Chains A and B, each alone.
Chain A
Amino acid sequence: MNVELVHIHKSFGAVHANNDISLSIKSGVIQGILGENGAGKSTLMKVLSGFIQADTGQILLDGKAVRIHTPSDAIKHGIGMLHQDPLDFPPMKIVDNMLIGHEGGLFPNRRQVSNSLTELQSQFGFNLDPEAYVDSLTVGERQQLEILRLLWLGARVLILDEPTTGISASQKEKLFETLKKLAEQGMVIIFVSHKLEDVEGLCHKIAVFRQGCLVGETVPPYNTDSLVELMFGKVVSLDEKTQLEGSEPVVEITNLSIDDNRIQIRGVNLTINCGEVIGLAGMEGSGQRQFLRTLAGLIRSVGGELRLSGKRMTGKPYHSFQTAGISYVPASRLEEGLIPGLSVTEHFILSEDQSGFFIDREKAVTICRDRIKTFNIKGEPVTRVEALSGGNQQRALLAMLRTPLRLLLLEHPTRGLDIESSIWIWSQLKDRCKQKTCIVFISADLEEVLHYSDRILVFYNGKVSQPLDAAATTVDQLGQLIGGKGF
């Protein structure tokens, strides 16, 4: 099926989210849509998938103008969208999840559905048990399920919104393989992402969005620098690594053992020097999260010792860890990091040391304005945190950290952020290192782990590798370890 978007305009109030977008995609093409957060790519995809209606402009499918009023209309026209957070029903069985929204008689035939699912799966080498519950699947598997469901419903156009966030490297490889196969069968694949390497590695054609406009289309071979320039309208470059001098040990971990439900970690030894950055790599659920939370004082280790500047921390409550200068920035910003419903100012009131019973609003607003400026947060003191974009929420979290800090623990510090925000976040973190803070962070992005870490620990099913020197490690070596080879 050929897809054409002709002169699409869409405004939300004063924001012109899509400004005269025209894009034509031929059958069998994997079209990349690249742009930073808020560039208008999601809006265009929502128009195409029936979530919202364009103010003006046309959608042509195989040359015929169509009106798409709802997402279920879209799938009837053969347009299926895979959302960033999988839209499925976690507590249900896979077959039931497939059936919801599938039209037919009063009593569905489950056997038939699971047979067609098995048949479809065999084409792509997926391995999902139709009787399994959706919440027992990983994000990557839920994505596979949703792709299968859309194909089963007859999708000829597949839109994927940031599909590589939160899935493992091997699942990503499988996803790309599947998408290539689907394109060979004549499907249109629209791949929305802000990750350059994903788009470059997969797409036949890339359209770049900036501030609501389509600013350029390119075909391979791609030039990364010019793509970045198109995205941001200026040249952005990665920081060089800063070399640290001196090595005063700050954190000493000896023979640390952790038991947490199904993950057991035994006998970790590590010394972190002042200003050092340690990256934790591994498939999600390999134990790196438990390790980080133990360092934060949220999980109590079952054996071994944890010392901060020579002081024994093992078994102390979370509060003592905080006052000792350890801070933890969790991955789920809105669940664990921030309090939805409170404004940015109110967050600073909570995070700053308070004296007196009543809140000094004026002082709080002053602090807040100051931080908003230094941390470049796009928002007002009265803005509620849930209304901030992901990148700005992360900036707000960093703005609330205490100074000075001995140890900063971060989970996926740049997940879901565009390149510019990521670079900015890391420049802030590097500043912290210069002030002698050690950083331990988890990331699923191997490039990030290699680029910013001094040393790397790889986790595999609770096993922990020896610290690797980041400068002497390649992506391949890291990938092998993450897959469990070499332990």
Chain B
Amino acid sequence: MDNNTLVGLAGILASAAPVVFAAIGETITERAGITNLSINGLILLTAMAGFATSVTTGSLLLGFLVGAVIGALVSLIVAFSSIALKQSQVAVGFVLALMCRDLSYFLGNPFMGASGPRVPPLPIPGLSDIPVLGVLFFRQDILVYASFLLIAVAYIFVYKTRPGLMLQGIGEQPATAYVRGANVNRLRYLYTIIGGALVGIAGPMYSLSVKVGWKGTITGLDGIGWIALAITIFGGWNPLRAAFGAYLFVLLQWLGLVLQPSLPNIPSQVLQVAPFPLMILTLLLVNIGNSEWVDRTLAGLPEELRRFIARVLRAMRTTPPAALGIPFDNE
């Protein structure tokens, strides 16, 4: 593999980091049974606010902190209106998505094109010199390392820990979770806020690292949040698969750019749009075990083989948390 390709792939890991944060944040929120549709606007708003904070104060850390706090607060609105006021999560989230986006353009005007700080690369001594892997994984900045860590921590938390099992429980059968001793609504607040904070970090990750600066409507971040929502769904509410989806999406985008010069006959627009349908196709394949005709086809196979395939499909299969979007009331 030549060096250019390696650097390109390393770039994919870096540009996917914010998508990983957003998709995993949303995954955690939805696992608890709340759909936070505001994240597209949220990423824009926190990108602007994080950048503005860092430009004003000179502190990168403060920029990320502000992003996380705004993410948590906006998500709190979604949680509060859903849990306490019993309002539609879709309507509230959608309006917040539009509002946050316009707010970011409006409030971000003074910082348009300002030059601000940027998160420095942080090669890990020793590891960064390993051939191939060093370039890929260990010459990144701290945010990329954080995204790797987040994938592992989120996966282990959801599937391997007691509170993680309860998180699955409250999104799946809140009434049962209540009988098993969970304070369902308090936990839902908690996970919506945590998920929102993670999404809120994704914004500054763009404006302080991946696409440094704030350029208003041409910043090019509008739409990332919707992609992250789609990745959450196709990722089957599994942090590992959500991360896979994030990398796949950025990889396809990158391929579109790289292949363009060598495929002059194909209009450039096709290559730009191609990632989207390709993404849907891939993720549909992953979830193929959900469809009934697969069951029927399998029925004709010999016992042993059928059992094996059924097991594999079952492991790949995903279903949304059964109580996603449904408010809970004891009794």
Summarize A's interface: helix, strand, loop or mixed: loop
Which 8 A-B residue pairings sit nearest by Cβ, starting from the closest?
A101-B180, A72-B181, A71-B179, A87-B176, A100-B169, A100-B165, A106-B161, A101-B181
A87–B168 touching, CB < 8 Å: no
Q: What residues on B are CB-neighbors of A107 within 8 Å?
A: 160-162
Chain B residue at minimum C-beta to C-beta distance from A83: B179
B331–A51 touching, CB < 8 Å: yes
Interface string of B148-191 (1 = CB under 8 A from A): 00000000000011110110110011011111111000000000
* C-alpha gap A248/B163 in the complex (Å): 66
In the complex, whether B295 has a CB less than 8 A from a CB of chain A is yes
CB distance from A310 to the nearest CB of B (A): 35
Q: What residues on A are CB-neighbors of B162 within 8 Å?
A: 99, 102-108
Chain B residue at minimum C-beta to C-beta distance from A101: B180
A92–B172 touching, CB < 8 Å: yes
A100–B166 touching, CB < 8 Å: yes
B176–A261 touching, CB < 8 Å: no
B319–A91 touching, CB < 8 Å: yes
Q: What residues on B are CB-neighbors of A51 within 8 Å?
A: 330-331
* C-alpha gap A104/B162 in the complex (Å): 8
25 A–B contact pairs at CB < 8 A? A81-B179, A87-B176, A87-B179, A88-B173, A88-B176, A89-B173, A89-B176, A90-B173, A90-B322, A91-B322, A92-B168, A92-B172, A99-B162, A100-B166, A100-B180, A101-B169, A101-B177, A101-B180, A101-B182, A103-B162, A106-B161, A106-B163, A107-B160, A107-B161, A108-B162
In the complex, whether A262 has a CB less than 8 A from a CB of chain B is yes
* C-alpha gap A167/B182 in the complex (Å): 29
Q: What residues on A are CB-neighbors of B163 within 8 Å?
A: 106
Known: A104-B162, A107-B162, A108-B165. 14 other contacts (CB 8 A): A71-B180, A71-B181, A72-B179, A72-B181, A83-B179, A87-B179, A88-B176, A89-B168, A89-B169, A90-B172, A90-B322, A99-B165, A100-B168, A100-B176
In the complex, whether B284 has a CB less than 8 A from a CB of chain A is no
Chain A residue at minimum C-beta to C-beta distance from B167: A100
In the complex, whether A70 has a CB less than 8 A from a CB of chain B is yes
* C-alpha gap A100/B172 in the complex (Å): 12
Q: What residues on A are CB-neighbors of B86 within 8 Å?
A: none
A261–B299 touching, CB < 8 Å: yes
Q: What residues on A are CB-neighbors of B181 within 8 Å?
A: 70-72, 101
**Residue among A87, A91, A108, A261 making CB contact with B296, cutoff 8 Å:** A261
A101–B166 touching, CB < 8 Å: yes
A residues at B contact (CB < 8 Å): 51-52, 70-72, 81, 83, 87-92, 96, 99-108, 133, 261-262
Total A-B pairs in contact (CB under 8 Å)?
70
Q: What residues on B are CB-neighbors of A261 within 8 Å?
A: 292, 295-296, 299
CB distance from B287 to the nearest CB of A (A): 14
* C-alpha gap A105/B163 in the complex (Å): 10
Q: Within B183-216, which residues are at the interface with A (CB < 8 Å)?
A: none
CB distance from B241 to the nearest CB of A (A): 15
Chain A residue at minimum C-beta to C-beta distance from B160: A107
Q: Within B10-26, which residues are at the interface with A (CB < 8 Å)?
A: none
Chain B residue at minimum C-beta to C-beta distance from A104: B162
* C-alpha gap A96/B172 in the complex (Å): 13
In the complex, whether B307 has a CB less than 8 A from a CB of chain A is no
Q: What residues on A are CB-neighbors of B165 within 8 Å?
A: 96, 99-100, 108
Q: What residues on A are CB-neighbors of B319 within 8 Å?
A: 91
Q: What residues on A are CB-neighbors of B180 within 8 Å?
A: 71-72, 100-101
A87–B169 touching, CB < 8 Å: no
Sorting the interface of chain B by its residue count into under 10, 10 to 19, 20 to 34 or 35 or more gives 20 to 34
* C-alpha gap A52/B314 in the complex (Å): 39
Q: What residues on A are CB-neighbors of B178 within 8 Å?
A: 70-71
* C-alpha gap A107/B160 in the complex (Å): 6
Q: What residues on A are CB-neighbors of B182 within 8 Å?
A: 101
Chain B CB count within 10 A is highest, among A92, A100, A104, for A100
Q: What residues on A are CB-neighbors of B166 within 8 Å?
A: 100-101
B299–A87 touching, CB < 8 Å: no
Q: What residues on A are CB-neighbors of B299 within 8 Å?
A: 261-262
CB distance from A109 to the nearest CB of B (A): 11
Known: A101-B166, A106-B163. A89 touches B172 (CB 8 A): yes
Chain A residue at minimum C-beta to C-beta distance from B321: A91
Chain A residue at minimum C-beta to C-beta distance from B159: A96
Q: What residues on A are CB-neighbors of B173 within 8 Å?
A: 87-90
B314–A91 touching, CB < 8 Å: no
Chain A residue at minimum C-beta to C-beta distance from B292: A261
CB distance from B173 to the nearest CB of A (A): 5
* C-alpha gap A51/B329 in the complex (Å): 12
Chain B CB count within 10 A is highest, among A83, A101, A106, for A101
CB distance from B269 to the nearest CB of A (A): 41
CB distance from A381 to the nearest CB of B (A): 26
Q: What residues on B are CB-neighbors of A71 within 8 Å?
A: 178-181
Chain B CB count within 10 A is highest, among A89, A99, A104, for A89
CB distance from A45 to the nearest CB of B (A): 13
* C-alpha gap A91/B323 in the complex (Å): 12
* C-alpha gap A329/B331 in the complex (Å): 29
* C-alpha gap A394/B300 in the complex (Å): 40
Q: What residues on A are CB-neighbors of B176 within 8 Å?
A: 87-89, 100
Q: What residues on A are CB-neighbors of B314 within 8 Å?
A: 133
CB distance from A69 to the nearest CB of B (A): 11
Q: What residues on B are CB-neighbors of A104 within 8 Å?
A: 162
Q: What residues on B are CB-neighbors of A70 within 8 Å?
A: 178, 181
* C-alpha gap A101/B176 in the complex (Å): 10
* C-alpha gap A91/B168 in the complex (Å): 10
Known: A99-B162, A261-B296, A261-B299. A91 touches B172 (CB 8 A): yes
CB distance from B18 to the nearest CB of A (A): 29
Q: Within B267-303, which residues are at the interface with A (CB < 8 Å)?
A: 292, 295-296, 299
Q: What residues on A are CB-neighbors of B169 within 8 Å?
A: 89, 100-101
* C-alpha gap A261/B165 in the complex (Å): 33
CB distance from A293 to the nearest CB of B (A): 16
Q: What residues on B are CB-neighbors of A88 within 8 Å?
A: 173, 176
Q: What residues on B are CB-neighbors of A92 within 8 Å?
A: 168, 172
CB distance from A340 to the nearest CB of B (A): 13
* C-alpha gap A256/B40 in the complex (Å): 56
Q: What residues on B are CB-neighbors of A100 within 8 Å?
A: 165-166, 168-169, 176-177, 180
* C-alpha gap A96/B180 in the complex (Å): 13
Q: What residues on A are CB-neighbors of B160 within 8 Å?
A: 107
CB distance from B318 to the nearest CB of A (A): 9
* C-alpha gap A394/B230 in the complex (Å): 42
CB distance from B307 to the nearest CB of A (A): 13
CB distance from A300 to the nearest CB of B (A): 15
Q: What residues on B are CB-neighbors of A133 within 8 Å?
A: 314
CB distance from A445 to the nearest CB of B (A): 28
CB distance from A153 to the nearest CB of B (A): 10
Chain B residue at minimum C-beta to C-beta distance from A98: B165
Interface string of B73-99 (1 = CB under 8 A from A): 000000000000000000000000000
Q: What residues on B are CB-neighbors of A89 within 8 Å?
A: 168-169, 172-173, 176
